[in-house]
Amino acid sequence: MLKHYYTDLVTSASVGPRQAFRFFCNVESWQDWSSVIRHARLFGGQWRPGALLLFMPDLPGLPPVPIMVRIIDVEPEQSITWGLSTPLGGLLHRFRFIPAEDGGCRIHHEEWSEGIVTLLAWPAGRLIKRFNDRFARELAEMF
């Protein structure tokens, strides 16, 4: 199957996975600490498979466009995966909060496409990477 990674980045946080995960899960505050999020909202009130996440990226030179994704998997205090999925492939995004020996954690941030969606998303690859890298770095800077 055709697969392409846009982001595979690990950042460090000086807090444990539980605290970092809880901070991240407060989706309504993303716009307060991230320069690339204009608005975000989780429908259904909690992070669970099937819930919908709406966010509006805010990148220089581009109009903000709302993006709606479905939550695919949640492992409390460990990881969240969301994405777009079709019979021809998908675009998936995962955050993993991994304990570090110093009591902090590493935040593994990855996004990839699978199947025919890879060919459709390819032109936006640099933009996706730029957005993700900035979001990941700003999240880590909050700790």
Instruction: For the chain, list the domains and their CATH numbers.
Output: 3-141 (3.30.530.20)
Q: Give tens-digit pLDDT for 67-114.
A: 999 999 999 999 999 999 888 899 999 999 999 999 999 999 999 999
**Cα 110 from Cα 133, distance rounded (Å):** 10
Q: Give tens-digit pLDDT for 17-73.
A: 999 999 999 999 999 999 999 999 999 878 999 999 999 998 877 788 899 999 999
**Cα 115 from Cα 141, distance rounded (Å):** 34
Helices (H) and strands (E) in the chain, counts: 4, 7
Q: Give residue 62's pLDDT.
A: 79
Q: Give tens-digit pLDDT for 10-31.
A: 999 999 999 999 999 999 999 9
Does pTM surpass 0.85?
Answer: yes
